[in-house]
Amino acid sequence: MDDAADLAARFNRVRARSRALAAPLSPEDAQVQSMDDCSPAKWHLAHTTWFFERFVLAERDGYTPFDSDFDFLFNSYYQSVGTMHARPHRGLVTRPTLSRVLEYRDAIDARMRERLGRDDLDTHARQVLLLGTHHEQQHQELLLTDIKHAFWCNPLRPAYRDDLPVAAGRDTPVDWIESGERIVEVGAPAWPQASAFAYDNESPRHRVLVPAHALASRPVSNAEYRAFIEDGGYRNAALWMSEGFSRIQRDGWARPLYWDEDLQREFTLGGMRDIDPHAPVCHISYFEADAYARWAGARLPTEFEWESAASGHAVEGHFADDTGGLHPRAATAGRGLRQLFGDVWEWTSSAYMPYPGFRPLPGSLGEYNGKFMCGQWVLRGGSCATPPAHVRASYRNFFYPPDRWQFSGLRLARDLSDRTR
């Protein structure tokens, strides 16, 4: 684990970043919850703070909570800690106000710094603190995707920020990177037994047999996806999972979530903009990614195909840093696999399941991941809204097949087995 100074620096950096992300928001903006899957920005700011208060500070006997109501209001889903406010009603809690929540952040930050300064945290507390910073980074991405959805629900389509840079991309051809059948090691050694941080859902590291296959060198672009739409992809039942086709018919889906009907413009965190044809398509569901792949005569990669390809690459890419623009960008020219990390989360064909021998974290934190391993699909690689240095090759993100409000796209894969049979 990081030594004390590193840990304190990381804590301060992450905490400051959340406030910076909330800075463009009015109290009204920070209040709303545009659908059950989203949370108000104010809630993200408070819940991430509560995580440190509850799981680090309050572990010490005699701790006086900042506000005894907050345990109920800002617990997300830790049933072992107590009852909690129902998620779909988070947007109705106007008090505490945003300003009060920022006071809460300041107060808990001060208490945490005091503990860090005195260096009186035991090993377990230091581990939970580190976990809390990774946890807060996940909520930073959700804060962005949730506010994007909220602004999109406003018929005026306001921008989160007016000063986001726009990068025009170039067309780059797709190469296919082939790989023969082999046994690979995937996953991360279980933390905190191992020193490198990883979530419990990434472990244990284990062996899998990956079949012969080929991976596309870059994600599918907006232009390519538009061709699918114009070819009638959304009307051709043969391309879709049965449940997906029912869903697009029921809800009238005919394009990615934030695209305009004209297929030329899209809603971004910088407001309505022209679609860059060469940038990766995003805000599509698993159903759409899967149907596109079938239309293209390909398939989605498994999470193990993706990880075994990515594990040799540096975790570099277009993340949510200060100059990033908070929108996917076109691939740069080059050879081999590109954009594995950043830009868009890539839907895989893998259902989100426990690895063989999976053990949740002990105690309440065991509720962090394990209980959601049913009905969701794995996405890999991070996006333009993911904090830099947050993801890794073994990182598993997961959402439900119809979810579209994340920066979710796809990369194609192909079987090579046909040749050899």
Interface contacts to a second copy, rule CB under 8 A:
26-32, 34, 42, 69, 72-73, 77, 79-80, 85, 89, 91-95, 97-98, 150-151, 153-156, 158, 181, 183, 204, 206-209, 211, 213, 237-238, 240-245, 286-287, 290, 349-351, 353-354, 356-357, 366-367, 371-375, 401, 415, 417-418, 421
Minimum CB separation of residue 370 from a second copy in Å reads 9
Contact 371, 354 (CB under 8 A): no
Q: What is the DSSP letter of 259?
A: B
Considering Cα of 162, then 164, then 168, then 169, what sign does the dihedral take? negative
Minimum CB separation from a second copy for residue 180, in Å? 13
Nearer to a second copy, 217 or 349 (CB): 349
Any residues with CB less than 8 A from the CB of 367 and at least 6 apart, and which?
77, 78, 79, 80, 360
CB of 164 to a second copy, least distance (A): 17
- Minimum gap (Å) between residue 371 Cβ and a second copy: 4
If the CB atoms of residues 63 and 72 are measured against a second copy, the closer one turns out to be 72
296 in Cβ contact with 412 (< 8 Å): yes
Q: CA-CA distance, 360 to 241, in Å (whole number)? A: 32
306: part of which helix (H) or strand (E)? helix 303-310
Q: Please, what is the minimum distance in Å from the beta carbon of residue 146 to a second copy?
A: 12
Between 29 and 276, CB nearer to a second copy: 29
User: For the purposes of burial, counting CB atoms within 10 Å of the CB of 220, is it exposed (0-12), middle (13-18) or buried (19 or more)?
Assistant: buried
Comparison of 69 and 231: residue with beta carbon closer to a second copy: 69
Q: In this complex, which beta carbon is closest to a second copy, that of residue 19 or of residue 206? A: 206
CB of 279 to a second copy, least distance (A): 27
Please name every residue paired with 206 in a beta bridge, in sequence order, or none if there are none: 186
Looking at beta carbons only, is 95 or 118 nearer to a second copy?
Answer: 95
Closer to a second copy by Cβ: residue 154 or 264: 154
Give min distance, CB of 138 to a second copy, in A.
Answer: 17
**Smaller CB separation from a second copy, 115 or 149:** 149
Nearest distance in Å: CB 373, a second copy = 7
Are 105 and 49 in contact, with CB atoms under 8 Å apart?
yes
Instruction: Please enumerate, as own/partner, the contacts of 251-259 that have beta carbons within 8 Å and a separation of 24 or more.
Output: 253/285, 253/288, 254/229, 255/229, 256/225, 256/281, 256/282, 256/283, 256/284, 256/288, 256/404, 257/152, 257/283, 257/284, 257/404, 257/405, 258/148, 258/152, 258/283, 259/283
Task: Give the closest residue to 71 by CA, choosing from 53, 94, 45, 93.
Answer: 53
Whole-Å CA distances, 99 to 26, 37, 61, 94, 124? 10, 24, 29, 11, 32
DSSP states of 175-224: PEEEE--EEEEES-PPTTTSSS---GGG-S-EEEEEPSEEEESSPPBHHH
Least distance to a second copy, CB of residue 417, Å: 4
